[in-house]
Structure formats: structure tokens, C-alpha cells
Amino acid sequence: DVQMTQSPSYLAASPGESVSISCKASKSISNNLAWYQEKPGKANKLLIHSGSTLQSGTPSRFSGSGSGTDFTLTIRSLEFEDFAVYYCQQYNEYPYTFGAGTKLELK
């Protein structure tokens, strides 16, 4: 299975700041990577697919980059609603696998 390693596990920031989350695959996954947002009491939200393509409805302050094995999710000008847990997921080969998540906390 393709192992997905996310870092950091926890990240503290303030509204208005920018943050980046890393996701590394154990082998090349081309650009077949998605990012999800998880918030308590809400359904998970697909933010980005194909490494950098924003899903409809995702605010433009979110961006994704990378290909191959190294990927980054960047959130610019954090808003209160962005404090959540973020997961990466590869869909290049079965079984599809997820990173362990990054919890973005309010500083």
C-alpha cells in the first residue's frame, strides 16, 4: 500500500496568518491526491483534487501544489472557519490511502 505521511500533526495559528501542510507519498502518485477538511458535527469536505484543483465551493484562499511524492496544502489569510483537521488521500492505486491528519488549532 502507498503510505501517506502528513506533517505536522498539529499546527497552531492565528486568523490572518498563512499555513502549509505537507503530505508525502511512499511512491509516486502522479497528481492523484486530494485534500479533505474535517470539522466536528459536519460532513467531511473535499477541498482539492488532482493535487491542485479546487473543488467547487472551496474558497480561493486554499491552494494545493505538488506532484509525484511531495504535496502541500496552503491556506492563506486564515479565517476562523478554517480551524479543523485536514487529511490528504491518494487515489493513484488501490487500496486508496489517507494521511494521518493535521489538526489546525487556534493560537
Partner 1 sequence: EIQLQESGPGLVKPSQSLSLTCSVTGYTITSGYDWSWIRKFPGNKMEWMGYISYSGSTNYNPSLKSRISITRDTSKNQFFLQLNSVTTEDTATYYCARGGQLFDYWGQGVMVTVSS
Beta strands in the chain (DSSP E): 4-7, 10-13, 19-25, 33-38, 45-49, 53-54, 62-67, 70-75, 85-90, 97-98, 102-106
Q: How far is the CB of 101 from partner 1 (least distance, A)?
A: 5
Window of 14-22, 59-67, 72-80, 86-94 that interacts with partner 1 by CB under 8 A: 86-94
Candidate list 3, 7, 18, 44; residue touching partner 1; CB under 8 A: 44
Task: Pull the grid cell for residue 64.
Answer: 494545493
80 touching partner 1, by CB under 8 A? no
Nearer to partner 1 among residue 67 and residue 76 (C-beta): 67
CA 31/CA 15 separation, integer angstroms:
30
16 touching partner 1, by CB under 8 A? no
Candidate list 49, 66, 69, 86; residue touching partner 1; CB under 8 A: 49
Sign, CA dihedral 5-66-57-74, equals positive
Q: Which residues bind partner 1 (CB under 8 A)?
A: 32, 34, 36, 41-46, 49, 55, 85, 87, 89, 91, 94-98, 100-101
